[in-house]
Structure 1
Amino acid sequence: MESKLALEKEELKHQLDVAQIIASGGSDVERFYAGSNVFLTGGSGFVGKHLIEKLFRCCNVNKVYLLLRSKKGKSVQQRIDQILKDPVFESLHKCKSDFKMNIIPIEGEMGEKELGIKDADRNIIIEQVNIIFHAAAVVNFNENVKTATLINVRGIREIVRLAKCCKQLRQVLTY
């Protein structure tokens, strides 16, 4: 129990150190991402959730356009609401409670042509997005091979095609 408390204290100290760096505005990373509009795939997964939290807590991004599909009878907005209940967002809810207003759902599907994104949403991405993070993938080894290939191979091809159309793009990152 004492080691757990020690770890918690160490983590809190680390968070305070990070908060001081952010407050100073001295981080090159923070300056790069500040005010950016980000398009993110895989935001419902482990890496994606942590990325969303970090972008809003440390980098002061403007908006995150989050590619999601309806799943198990839930709309994309209901899925975002569920994602934001994850414990990783607890401190962000406390210090920047309005961040969730800047998460914009984009309904689509990684395995479809043009990511299954409607034309209006695609135009928003093309006109406004500065940074693309592609973190979506099938990682279930029991998945149907055709489905996994469409998502993992076609998906990245469609991300690259979309990126080539973006008028204000500064960076594309894949995980």
Structure 2
Amino acid sequence: MSESPIKEFYKNKTIFVTGGTGFIGKVLIEKLLRSTEVSQIYVLTRPKKGETPQQRIKKLVESGLFDTLREISPNSLERVHAIQGDVEEVGLGIQDTDLDILYHEVDIVIHSAATVRFDENLSKALRINVNGVSEILTICKQMKKLEAMTIESLSLLGSDVTDDPVFTKSIIGARPNTYTYTKVLKSFIGFVL
């Protein structure tokens, strides 16, 4: 029996994931490891609550979500690696040595990082949900194994202006919150790798 097209697509591929420590990202990583033969998964991870990115990834793969995988293929968990960074930072805050790994090894980028707070300040929601896409694309353009579409950087007003509730309401209009507004913007930016 031949492999599914999805399984074949991911076979021996190296993947870079943003948002991998979030709810959807965790499930995605587990599914990729359990259902495909990916080579490596690099996860953009920031330090949080006194834990290093490496400690957070170790804790992630030790969670109950990965119990089945630990039983059927325990060595597959060794394919998950932290790349320290943050979607709010220029260049995602990734160190040059890690960028070099991404530039030369990554075949697939899955960008799932986002703020999902419905009442997030507009400037922060734009930094994460919109500018983060721009930063990902800038990095993708340097990846030797990827094709990426270029987008222009956004010129933003200062946060003292954008976070003013009256200004925010005038920008988001009929949208109920900053989350839905920035997700719509993100969908217009769309890109193909």
TM-score range, shorter chain: 0.7 to 0.9
Which of 70, 73, 87 pairs up with 1:93?
A: 70
CA distance in structure 2 between the partners assigned to 1:80 and 1:171 by the alignment: 27
Residue 52 of structure 1: aligned partner: 29
Pairing 1:150–2:143 present: no
Give structure 1 stretches of 5+ with no counterpart. Answer: 1-23
Residue 97 of structure 2: aligned partner: 120
Deviating 4+ runs (over 3 angstroms): 170-174
How big is each residue's C-alpha offset from its partner over 1:69-113, in whole Å with a ceiling of 9 and x where there is no partner? 000111111111221233221100111111221111100010111
CA distance in structure 1 between the partners assigned to 2:125 and 2:139 by the alignment: 20
How big is each residue's C-alpha offset from its partner over 1:101-159, in whole Å with a ceiling of 9 and x where there is no partner? 11111000101111000011011101010000000000012333222211111100011
Q: Describe the shift of the 1:102–1:170 C-alpha distance in structure 2 as closer, same or farther (beyond 3 A).
A: farther
Partner SS, residue 141 of structure 2: helix
Which of 130, 139, 153 pairs up with 2:116?
A: 139
Residue 161 of structure 2: aligned partner: none
Q: TM-score, normalised by structure 1?
A: 0.80
Pairing 1:66–2:66 present: no
1:68: how far off? 0.4
Partner SS, residue 99 of structure 2: helix
Which of 164, 167, 171 pairs up with 2:144?
A: 167
Residue 32 of structure 1: aligned partner: 9
CA RMSD, Structure 1 to Structure 2 (Å)? 1.9
Aligned residues: 151
1:46: how far off? 1.5
CA distance in structure 1 between the partners assigned to 2:137 and 2:131 by the alignment: 10
1:171: how far off? 8.3
Partner SS, residue 7 of structure 2: helix
Q: Describe the shift of the 1:55–1:132 C-alpha distance in structure 2 as closer, same or farther (beyond 3 A).
A: same
Give structure 2 stretches of 5+ with no counterpart. Answer: 150-190
Which of 92, 106, 113 pairs up with 1:129?
A: 106
Which of 109, 129, 132 pairs up with 2:86?
A: 109
CA distance in structure 2 between the partners assigned to 1:103 and 1:149 by the alignment: 29
CA distance in structure 2 between the partners assigned to 1:88 and 1:132 by the alignment: 22
Which of 61, 77, 95 pairs up with 1:84?
A: 61
Identity %: 38
Larger helix share, 1 or 2: 1
CA distance in structure 1 between the partners assigned to 2:148 and 2:65 by the alignment: 25
Larger CA deviation: 130-139 vs 52-61:
52-61
